[in-house]
């Protein structure tokens, strides 16, 4: 019984930490996506006007 009473707290904390790291990872993925999209668009425009 004591185990079930103590268990939820660390689980909750670990879930919170995981969510925070996910947000950081999500932000990084978003930035990378935007950067690669920009590079791709510039590349396409370059090849359009180069030829």
Query: How far is it, in rounded angstroms, from Cα 27 to Cα 14?
Result: 20
φ, ψ of residue 43 to 5 degrees: the values are -60, -45
pLDDT reported for residue 40: 98
Predicted model pTM: 0.52
Query: How far is it, in rounded angstroms, from Cα 28 to Cα 7?
Result: 32
pLDDT reported for residue 22: 75
**Domain spans of the chain?**
2-50
Asked whether residue 2 carries a pLDDT value surpassing 60, the answer given is: no
pLDDT reported for residue 44: 96
Tell me the per-residue pLDDT of 9-42, one tens digit each, with 9 for 90 and over: 556 666 667 777 778 889 999 999 999 999 999 9
Query: How far is it, in rounded angstroms, from Cα 5 to Cα 49?
Result: 68
């Amino acid at each position: 019984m004591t185990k079930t009473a103590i268990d939820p707290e660390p689980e909750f904390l670990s879930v919170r930490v995981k969510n925070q790291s996910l947000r950081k990872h999500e932000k990084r993925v978003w930035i990378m996506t935007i950067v690669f999209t920009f590079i791709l668009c510039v590349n396409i425009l370059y090849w359009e006007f180069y030829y």
